Amino acid sequence: MAKEKSETPRFICGLHATLHVINGKWKPLILFFLNKGPTRYGELKRSVRGVSDKMLIQQLKELESDGIVRRTDYGEIPLRVDYSLTPFGMSLVHAMEPLCGWGAAHEEDIAAAMDRRPTSR
Amino acid sequence: MAKEKSETPRFICGLHATLHVINGKWKPLILFFLNKGPTRYGELKRSVRGVSDKMLIQQLKELESDGIVRRTDYGEIPLRVDYSLTPFGMSLVHAMEPLCGWGAAHEEDIAAAMDRRPTSR
DNA sequence: TCAAGTATGCACCTTTTGGTAAGTACCTAT
DNA sequence: ATAGGTACTTACCAAAAGGTGCATACTTGA
């Protein structure tokens, strides 16, 4: 046990790396909403319909630790916190646009394919 | 039970849809290698280091059912099959390029962030 | 005949991820 | 005093994803 440090955990291609950052059931949605501007926790929760507190916080924490989002605590009397994209996060969202476009353009084919899946996924 | 069919399983944004297609531990890698041209099963397995037969087949099946890859069985005497991207798959890979670029450009930050993660992921 | 290679299939089990529901601490309005 | 809102935290569970390893059917080479 002397050189097990960073045993080239590098990724095969950039996509591989990127997916580590945006994987998570609610992350794309969170990014989608944050892209519209800083959002308070409760507001975000109401936007991302169906997410639980546990999940929202967890995904936000990961995105924060990855440097994608920034948590701002205004230290005000009636608790007030909001989340926003960092410049790094914005560059990610920007790079995601073509993929959003592709997904949007083929939404129906994708939905149909999903339905074909045995477990429906 | 009259209208439970396709209860608007639509996606919030295109990215959301796309991620359903490329999610899977080995899919980005598979796509990466198939992008270089049609590849035989065994060849692919040797390229995607660390993948088991079960996983490779499973992910290929999903990609196939999603219309991203095409399986070609040459029906030859010594079993011979290969996998390639469909035009649809190529368009996906093409849309993924910016994200690949982003990931490649920030590989180190991402790797560092991963290391920071409590569970290391 | 035995080993090895090709492309899978299948059963079983562990890990990871996500969900439910409850609690906390502090504030405001009634 | 009680209810409701803010932003979380925690424990416990279920489901999904992934991994291990053996089995198959057919082939060629030694």
Q: Where does the pLDDT of residue B10 fall: very low under 50, low under 70, confident under 90, or very high at 90 and above?
A: low
Candidates A6, A15, A23, A90: best to mutate against B (most CBs of B within 10 A) is: A15
Tell me what the mean pLDDT of segment A38-47 comes to.
Answer: 96
A25 sits in which H/E element = none
Best CA proximity match to B79, nearest among B30, B42, B110: B42
Return phi, psi of residue B68, to 5°. Answer: -90, -40
Look up the ipTM and state it.
0.84
Predicted structure pTM score = 0.87
Looking at the domain that runs over A14-116, which CATH code has it been given? 1.10.10.10
Q: How confident is the model at residue B4 (pLDDT cuts 50, 70, 90)?
A: very low
| Model confidence at A12: pLDDT above 90 | no
A81 touching B (Cβ < 8 Å)? no
Range A108-121 average pLDDT: 75
8 Å CB contact of B17 and A106? yes
Q: Is the pLDDT of residue A113 over 90?
A: no
State the Cα–Cα distance between residues B99 and B103, nearest whole angstrom: 6
Is B19 within 8 Å of A21 (Cβ atoms)? no
